[in-house]
Copies of this chain bind each other. A is one copy, B any other.
């Protein structure tokens, strides 16, 4: 009298906390990487499981052995992304030198565009669609962090340690300028030549820009 299903061995997805075998770990990573590639360029609805499966070199049913659904893959990617998305801004240190700190923040964000352009595009896709899946994150985690750091920037500004600038727009400008190099890389490549690194020259330019903007 066999049980209708193996009771303990559910889908490895959500219930089993950590991937057990080496195969699990490896394949889940392969799938997430393939899915990041596909979701970041086609958006959630524009991506198909077949595309992701092909990209991963696995069969579609095999994807669904490792993840409960297309949505679960996407959610997993977003969760991992958001975990680290705030870090650069979090590191803005109230005790450091204002200009140095802001410059370092800009540089960290630029590095993220260089090292994780697909993650940036995944995020951009989500925001473009009205951020339905990460609304809570933005309204709470991101908002409170931004409010806190804007206050810090405002204090620095008041104290004359940086020029008088609107702190929110200062933060938005860093987001816009750095993420642009990841999100619009296709356009930049077509304009400057595809062999050209889109980020070439970006850092000196942004350093010049923010030095001039922030110096009191």
Interface residues of A (CB under 8 A from B): 40-46, 121, 124-125, 127-131, 135, 138-139, 142-143, 146-147, 163, 165-166, 168-170, 172-173, 175-177, 179-181, 183-184, 186-188, 190-192, 201-202, 204-206, 208-209, 212-213
Chain B residues near A166 (CB-CB < 8 A)? 201, 204-205
Q: How far is the CA of A66 from the CA of B205 in the complex (A)?
A: 48
Are the CB atoms of B41 and A43 closer together than 8 Å? no
Q: How many monomers of this protein are in the complex?
A: 2
Chain B residues near A121 (CB-CB < 8 A)? 128
Q: Which of B128, B138, B212 contacts A190 (CB under 8 A)?
A: B138
Q: Which of B45, B187, B188 contacts A46 (CB under 8 A)?
A: B45
If the complex has contacts A166-B204, A176-B176, are A186 and B142 also in contact, measured as CB distance less than 8 A?
A: no
Nearest-neighbour CB distance to chain B for A70, whole angstroms, equals 13
Are the CB atoms of B165 and A205 closer together than 8 Å? yes
> What 17 additional pairs, Cβ within 8 angstroms, besides A168-B201, A176-B180, A208-B213?
A41-B128, A43-B46, A43-B128, A43-B129, A45-B45, A128-B186, A130-B186, A143-B190, A146-B191, A147-B191, A165-B205, A168-B192, A172-B180, A172-B181, A172-B188, A176-B176, A176-B179
Nearest-neighbour CB distance to chain B for A38, whole angstroms, equals 11
If the complex has contacts A125-B128, A138-B187, A176-B176, are A208 and B165 also in contact, measured as CB distance less than 8 A?
A: yes
Q: Which of B46, B127, B172, B212 contacts A186 (CB under 8 A)?
A: B127
Nearest-neighbour CB distance to chain B for A124, whole angstroms, equals 6
Are the CB atoms of B131 and A190 closer together than 8 Å? yes
Are the CB atoms of A143 and B191 closer together than 8 Å? yes
Chain B residues near A139 (CB-CB < 8 A)? 190
A-B contact list, 12 entries, CB within 8 Å: A46-B129, A127-B184, A128-B128, A128-B183, A128-B186, A166-B201, A172-B181, A172-B184, A175-B184, A176-B177, A209-B209, A213-B213
Closest chain B residue to A122, Cβ basis: B128
